[in-house]
Amino acid sequence: MNHHAVDGTVLVTGGAGFIGSHTVRSLRDAGRDVVVLDSLELGRREAVIDAPLVVGDIHDRDLVTATCNEHGVTQLVHFAAYKAVGESMDSPAKYWRNNVAGTVDLVEACMASGVNHVVFSSSCSVNGTPDVVPVTEDAPIRPESVYAESKAMVERILYWYGHTSDLRSVSLRYFNAAGASFDGRIGEDWTYSQNLVPLAMKALLLDDRRLKVFGNDYDTPDGTCIRDYIHVADLADAHVRALDYLGRGGDTVAINVGTGVGSSVLDVVNATAEVAGQPVPYDIAPRRAGDPVTTFADPTLALEALGWRAQYGLREIVDTAYAWHLSQVDAGR
């Protein structure tokens, strides 16, 4: 039985990626019809499982229009973006074209097909290094990379669409997504990942790897940076709830999605060692430019607006990630 305020199909761009594929499963578990649009440049076909997959680009307006019309799309969840901070500084045009201009092309094509609800994959990095933690939604927008600026720009673009058209949107500002599905079917491809949890797993499971811990002289309890790690299953659930919020007539809004709990780099390393029953080999490296010392979310608005709160913590993140990466290594991937 479908209890959602909006019928019709959800178009999920980037649905073959890490967070996208988990969200596709959550939407299907919630009884929604889904169609995925993904270039498969960084996504994996098998991660979509049995949802319909259209291979193509968000810039391709004819393809987006045809997909919306053919599948009866009524709502959009937009993940498709490049997300490597370092690369964004070396190749900024790639990020402006894809993340910003590509989103405009996508949204215009969707609106022309009658789609007026967008849930956008934003990032807590729009706030840069926050003055105050926990971080609330009214913290200053101060991106410290081209990647973060591209997310902030799309938030502004969606805000103005809300004034110039019928489009309403929820920008979900994720903190650090991690973990894998509880049944072990899908997880994070570590091939290109710069994220701490898969890098810690790599150091643990591959003989020739050591984890780099960037800086152990910060003003934190153990000297390493503190972040808010959120289980990808919780994050997927927030997207389902955000679509329902728009379906109920909710206004355009940006919402932090985090646990409200900060964990240090060494907390993650130690939790990983505990789950695996062996230490994670690591070296202390110099601090990285642009790394905030401490950031974690104030998740109050997510609870008030979406009825959402994180169900899982660092232990479930590390448990599911370890099981997933172990299965991939055993399968020779």
Per residue in 278-312, pLDDT tens? Answer: 999 999 999 987 788 899 999 999 999 999 999 99
Q: Helix H segments across the chain?
A: 18-29, 61-71, 85-90, 92-95, 102-112, 146-164, 196-205, 232-247, 265-276, 300-301, 314-330
Structure tokens at 138: 């009214």
pLDDT at 3: 60
Q: Percentage helix, strand, coil, to 5, in the chain? A: 40, 20, 40
User: Cβ distance 139 to 130 under 8 Å?
Assistant: yes
Tokens 């309403």 belong to: 168
- Please report which helix (H) or strand (E) contains residue 54, including its range: strand 53-55
pLDDT tens sequence across 23-58: 999 999 999 999 999 999 999 999 999 999 999 999
Q: Domain 9-178+230-257: give its CATH code.
A: 3.40.50.720
Of 74-83, 185-194, 222-231, the range with the lowest mean pLDDT is 185-194
Predicted confidence at residue 333, as pLDDT, reads 65
Could you tell me which residues are beta bridge partners of residue 213? 284
Name the pairing type of β-strands 263-264 and 226-227: antiparallel
pLDDT value, residue 125: 93
pLDDT tens by residue, 129-145: 899 999 999 999 999 99
Question: In CATH, which of 1.10.10.350, 3.40.50.920, 3.90.25.10, 3.40.50.800 is domain 196-227+260-297+311-330?
Answer: 3.90.25.10
pLDDT of residue 78: 98
> Where are the domain boundaries for CATH 3.40.50.720 in the chain?
9-178+230-257
In a 10 Å sphere around its CB, with 0-12 CB exposed, 13-18 middle and 19+ buried, how is residue 138 labelled? exposed
HSE of 8 in the Cβ direction (CA atoms, 13 Å)?
23
According to DSSP, the β-strands at 282-285 and 253-257 are unpaired
| Chain segment 76-131, per-residue pLDDT in tens | 999 999 998 889 999 999 999 999 999 999 999 999 999 999 999 999 999 998 99
Contact 290, 225 (CB under 8 A): no
* CA separation for the pair 115, 75 (Å, rounded): 6
Q: Report the alpha-carbon angle 22-254-241, nearest 5.
A: 40
Any idea which residues carry the catalytic annotation?
147
Q: Is the separation of the CB atoms in 34 and 10 below 8 Å? A: yes
H or E element that contains 211: strand 211-214
Task: Indicate the pTM of the whole model.
Answer: 0.95
